[in-house]
Chains A and B, each alone.
Chain A
Amino acid sequence: MTTRYDLIAALVENEARVLDVGCGDGSLLRRLGEERRARGYGLELDAALVAQAVSSGLSVVQGDADTDLGDYPAGAFDTVVLSNSLQALQSPVAALREALRVGRGAVVSFPNFGHWRVRTDLLTSGRMPVSKALPAKWHETQNIHLCTVRDFVELARAEGFVIEKAFGISSGRARSFSPGRPGRANLTAQEAVFLLRSKR
């Protein structure tokens, strides 16, 4: 059984300075601290979650990734993590650019809307897909910018982000794939995790 957190933890270097964008209650940062001795920093919109994270001893700032990433100086972090938060942002592209400005690298994960079950759901029911990973109805969801693996790979190419590593997760199994040939992962992965660097 491999989770998104397992993959992210594997992609973060030991003792790295990590910014988790949309860190929630800080559970990923705590894990990175324990496993990687990472120096964790968090950004989170929800005040109650920030309070929870800070009360566990983490350095977390209440703020909005759409507007507040600009507050951090360039190269402030080794890795910026966007763990299933990208699709909830107003301007995901701007956030990715900012992530690669303030971090030497970025680890980005999202639920893959290209998964075969999502596709067949839409085909057979004619309604916006609702699943375990994406349980909210279309008018209630915070996920306003959902994408597929292929969408993301094409965006990265257009923006000049270098995909160093790419993984699909399907039923608890993680598989690496080549960003040049995303077709299979786009069909089978429920979630995708990418390690990005900006072109120097």
Chain B
Amino acid sequence: MTNTGAGGLLPPGEGETARLGALSLDSGVTLPEVTVAYETYGALNADRTNAVLVCHPLTADQFAGREHPVTGKPGWWERLIGPGRLLDTDRLFVICPNVLGGCMGSTGPASIDPGTGRPYGLNFPVVTIGDMVRAQAALLDALGIDRLLAVVGGSMGGMQALTWAARHPERVANAAIIASAARHTPQNIAFHEVGRQAVMADPDWRDGTYAPDEPPRRGLAVARMTAHVTYLSEPALEAKFGRRFQNGSAPGFGFDADFQVESYLRHQGKSFTDRFDANSYLYITRAMDYFDLGRDCGEDEGALARCFSGTKTRFLLVSFTSDWLYPTAESRRVVRALHGAGAEVSFVEVESDRGHDAFLLEEPELDRVLGGFLAAAMRGAGL
């Protein structure tokens, strides 16, 4: 159904939402009423064999394949989704849901707690990547889709794709995991903690009880600025900004955004607060921090392989040489586990100096590999 503007920052009337009832979470808590907002591109075929789930990264949302209703910018993977594109909507039915805990129409901390009639805020239960996948599985049930031709995701989306393949192997024929990992490293957790502390240090945060029109903008902007640096690389920053000054060629001897890189980061931070909810940022970063897929299957070194034992899913993993946030070593760890499970797996480390963000950008090598992988998937399904 069309959304009624019940949750988060999604403007009323934009996109689709599904009411999915109660959902029990990894923490043991049950959410009484879960709504998932989603976008679809293309049409489901009569045999229901052409469905592809696209899982979004931390600060993106369901608007992967069309202009964003809040920012007016192109969809974050519009480059890949559309007629004749890599995810060819003339042949595929692409579904992209907003994650549980998000702020673009899916149930999250900004949603109304049916118990109190007020926004959840910090009363929202801590959710996990597994819970996000649970909500997505419930959405697919509601849409009548038993099996996915593919699940595709970058960064946090890749974590969801891996979790899909581990928890619902019979529902996933192919899984593409890009610039991602099977666990959050201590470094990942550390950066997220810096961002959360920035939000919580903003007096406007009010222990999470801020009014929708008075969010902790400064704290959230700082969190975004820190995170944004981790998505780039030194060569990328050097190429884009160097040490250039914002105005003229001499220093201004002050604390305004004197360097271009500062001005850029401030803009990134500020514009982020128009489209993202601060509490959602806390909850989703927490979900990523708790992510350690192997722990589902034990504490030993072989645990991650056991999560995939007997899998028939085909896997593709892609990493980028300059991505220090989700480095190649983490992808290789997954590849090793998949080898251990006897899975069909492909892996490429793409040469790029654009850091973690490379998965969102024009990278011909990524397109070639992902395109070939998906083409083979479609051939395998007789599409």
Which residue of A56, A73, A76 has the most chain B CB atoms within 10 A of its CB atom?
A73
Which residue of A48, A52, A54, A63 has the most chain B CB atoms within 10 A of its CB atom?
A54
Known: A72-B339, A73-B339, A76-B339. A57 touches B372 (CB 8 A): yes
The reply to whether B339 and A62 contact each other, CB–CB distance below 8 Å, is no
Separation of A142 and B290 alpha carbons in the complex (Å)? 45
With a cutoff of 8 Å between Cβ atoms, the chain A residues found around residue B372 in the complex are 51, 54-57
* 0/1 interface trace, chain A 41-62, chain B, CB 8 Å (1 if under): 1000001101110111111111
Separation of A51 and B370 alpha carbons in the complex (Å)? 9
The reply to whether A62 and B376 contact each other, CB–CB distance below 8 Å, is no
The reply to whether B371 and A55 contact each other, CB–CB distance below 8 Å, is yes
Chain B contacts with A in 318-363, Cβ cutoff 8 A: 332, 335-336, 339-340, 342, 344-351
The reply to whether A62 and B368 contact each other, CB–CB distance below 8 Å, is no
Does chain B have a CB within 8 A of A34? no
CB proximity of B349 to chain A, nearest CB, Å: 6
Size band of the interface chain A makes with B: 20 to 34
Does chain A have a CB within 8 A of B73? no
Does chain B have a CB within 8 A of A140? no
CB proximity of B35 to chain A, nearest CB, Å: 38
Candidates A60, A72, A73; contact of B346 at CB < 8 Å? A60
Known: A51-B369, A54-B369. A59 touches B349 (CB 8 A): no
The reply to whether A57 and B335 contact each other, CB–CB distance below 8 Å, is no
Chain A residue at minimal CB-CB distance from B336: A71
CB proximity of B93 to chain A, nearest CB, Å: 21
The reply to whether A57 and B348 contact each other, CB–CB distance below 8 Å, is no
The reply to whether B373 and A54 contact each other, CB–CB distance below 8 Å, is yes
With a cutoff of 8 Å between Cβ atoms, the chain B residues found around residue A61 in the complex are 335, 339, 345-347
Known: A47-B365, A73-B342, A76-B342. A54 touches B335 (CB 8 A): no
The reply to whether A62 and B345 contact each other, CB–CB distance below 8 Å, is no
Known: A55-B369, A59-B314, A71-B335. A47 touches B349 (CB 8 A): yes
Separation of A60 and B349 alpha carbons in the complex (Å)? 12
CB proximity of B301 to chain A, nearest CB, Å: 12
Separation of A58 and B339 alpha carbons in the complex (Å)? 15
Which residue of B339, B342, B371 has the most chain A CB atoms within 10 A of its CB atom?
B339
Separation of A27 and B335 alpha carbons in the complex (Å)? 23
Chain A residue at minimal CB-CB distance from B378: A57
With a cutoff of 8 Å between Cβ atoms, the chain A residues found around residue B350 in the complex are 47, 51
Please list the residues of chain B having a beta carbon within 8 angstroms of any beta carbon in chain A. Answer: 314, 316, 332, 335-336, 339-340, 342, 344-351, 365, 368-369, 371-373, 375-376, 379
- Given contact pairs A57-B375, A59-B346, a sample of 13 additional A-B residue pairs in the complex whose CB atoms are under 8 Å apart: A41-B344, A50-B346, A54-B346, A55-B369, A56-B376, A57-B372, A57-B376, A57-B379, A58-B346, A60-B346, A60-B347, A61-B339, A62-B349
The 10 tightest CB contacts between A and B, nearest first, are A55-B372, A57-B376, A59-B344, A61-B347, A71-B336, A54-B346, A71-B339, A51-B369, A54-B369, A50-B348
